[in-house]
């Protein structure tokens, strides 16, 4: 929330006749004044001296300021010039931003009223409109996707394989190894994800279903199936895939962790992808995780991330069982 710095002041000017026998001196040219003169700030001036040298001019149009003016950074403006040319404009309606206004993560400033009129993109937080996002879409499951995020959205199979090998390489570089080779990935809408996950959180964008086959009390096979919400921008899709593959890692090692430690650990996969992606969007998504108030995806993540920063991957992977 910002407030534009507009101050309206009044210049005090007085016209006065010269008083007999007390001819004042002009504070500009230092010569005595005959006839009418002007006073400003307790000093006297010839009318011409005042107008040509003392009277303030508008920084925008260069013309004299008479009466009300606005001031910004010690510069003076006609109120009209200030409103129309100096005040920042709303990126949505192009009207000056007077009074309270918002600036989003992406540096777009707009009137607060627009945020109640326009839907927000579910992945980048921008208000969806032609001016900011080149439009956008309602996905039909309660989510909105803006035109910018839509450019890289993952809704078909063609990106799954390349994303999968990229994410696996990244995880392996930190010791998350020996993941099963063929893990099916299915794109679903948010409604389906809610049905699949026994405990659903808004911070959730994927779910991994684990199955274990036992015979005579012995595990004979394990398999996992990853579900990810469709239409995520590629960067976020990869981050969610990394998170879900971390679940597979835990499952393969029979690590049954408390929810905050489990989700916090799996979010390190997302963190890896965001830190590996040099884009403003990746920074935005990482910030989102860092600020999340979710007990598992937010607090849990920060706890495990701090532990990782202090002790490193090797220690973390070896002691996952003992974290409290």
- Residue 16 binds Zn ion, judged by CB under 5 A: no
- Residue 121 binds Zn ion, judged by CB under 5 A: yes
CB of 69 to Zn ion, least distance (A): 9
CB of 310 to Zn ion, least distance (A): 23
Interface pick for Zn ion out of 132, 149, 272, 316 (rule CB under 5 A): 149
Tell me the residue ranges of DSSP E strands in 116-179.
136-138, 144-146, 153-154
Please, which residue, 160 or 244, has the CB nearer to Zn ion?
244
Q: Which structure tokens are listed for 50?
A: 């005042």
Options 47-55, 174-182, 248-256, 310-318: segment touching Zn ion (CB under 5 A): 47-55
Interface pick for Zn ion out of 76, 132, 139, 146 (rule CB under 5 A): 146
Q: Helix 259-276 and helix 301-319: axis angle, to 10°?
A: 100
CB of 95 to Zn ion, least distance (A): 5
Neighbours of 158 (CB within 10 A): 9
List, in order, residues 6 or more apart from 276 with CB less than 8 Å away.
170
- Residue 78 binds Zn ion, judged by CB under 5 A: yes
Please, which residue, 216 or 251, has the CB nearer to Zn ion?
251
Please tell me the distance from the alpha carbon of residue 295 to that of residue 144, in angstroms, as a whole number: 25
- Sequence-distant contacts of 196-199: CB under 8 A, at least 24 apart: 196/227, 199/259
Options 74-82, 154-162, 163-171, 249-257: segment touching Zn ion (CB under 5 A): 74-82
- Residue 93 binds Zn ion, judged by CB under 5 A: yes
- Give me the sign of the Cα torsion angle 303, 304, 305, 309: positive
Options 16-24, 106-114, 168-176, 181-189: segment touching Zn ion (CB under 5 A): 106-114
- Residue 285 binds Zn ion, judged by CB under 5 A: no
List, in order, residues 6 or more apart from 305 with CB less than 8 Å away.
264, 267, 268, 271
- Residue 170 binds Zn ion, judged by CB under 5 A: no
Q: Enumerate helices (H) and strands (E) in the chain, giving the number of each.
A: 11, 16
- Residue 64 binds Zn ion, judged by CB under 5 A: no
CA-CA-CA-CA dihedral for 101, 7, 52, 34, to nearest 10? 160
Interface pick for Zn ion out of 124, 232, 236, 245 (rule CB under 5 A): 124
Interface pick for Zn ion out of 170, 228, 266, 268 (rule CB under 5 A): 266
The contact set with Zn ion (CB under 5 A) reads 26, 28-29, 46, 49, 58, 60-61, 78, 81, 90, 92-93, 111, 121, 124, 146, 149, 263, 266
């Amino acid at each position: 929330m910002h407030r534009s710095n507009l101050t309206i002041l009044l210049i005090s000017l007085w016209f006065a006749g010269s008083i007999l026998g007390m001819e004042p001196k002009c504070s500009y040219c230092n010569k005595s004044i005959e006839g009418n003169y002007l006073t400003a700030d307790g000093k006297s001036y010839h009318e011409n001296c005042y107008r040509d040298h003392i009277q303030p001019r508008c920084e925008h149009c260069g013309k004299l300021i008479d009466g009300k003016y606005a001031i910004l950074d010690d510069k003076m403006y006609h109120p009209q010039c200030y409103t129309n040319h100096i005040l920042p404009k709303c990126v949505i309606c192009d009207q000056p931003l007077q009074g309270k206004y918002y600036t989003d993560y992406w540096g777009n400033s707009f009137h607060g009223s627009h945020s109640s009129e326009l839907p927000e993109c579910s992945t980048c937080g921008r208000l969806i409109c032609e001016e900011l996002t080149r439009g956008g879409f309602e996905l039909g499951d309660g989510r909105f996707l803006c035109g910018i995020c839509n450019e890289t959205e993952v809704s078909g199979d063609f990106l799954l394989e390349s994303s999968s090998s990229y994410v696996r390489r990244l995880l392996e570089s930190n010791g998350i190894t020996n993941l099963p080779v063929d893990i099916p990935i299915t794109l679903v809408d948010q409604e389906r994800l809610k049905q699949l996950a026994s405990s659903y959180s808004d911070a959730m964008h994927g779910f991994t279903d684990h199955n274990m086959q036992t015979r005579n009390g012995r595990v004979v096979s394990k398999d996992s199936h990853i579900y990810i919400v469709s239409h995520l921008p590629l960067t976020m899709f990869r981050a969610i895939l990394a998170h879900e593959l971390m679940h597979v890692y835990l499952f393969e090692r029979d690590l049954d962790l408390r929810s905050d430690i489990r989700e916090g650990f799996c979010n390190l996969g997302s963190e890896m992808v965001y830190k590996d992606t040099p884009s403003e969007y990746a920074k935005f998504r990482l910030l989102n995780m860092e600020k999340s108030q979710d007990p598992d995806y937010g607090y849990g993540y920060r706890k495990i991330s701090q532990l990782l920063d202090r002790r490193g991957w090797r220690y973390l992977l070896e002691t996952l069982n003992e974290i409290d």
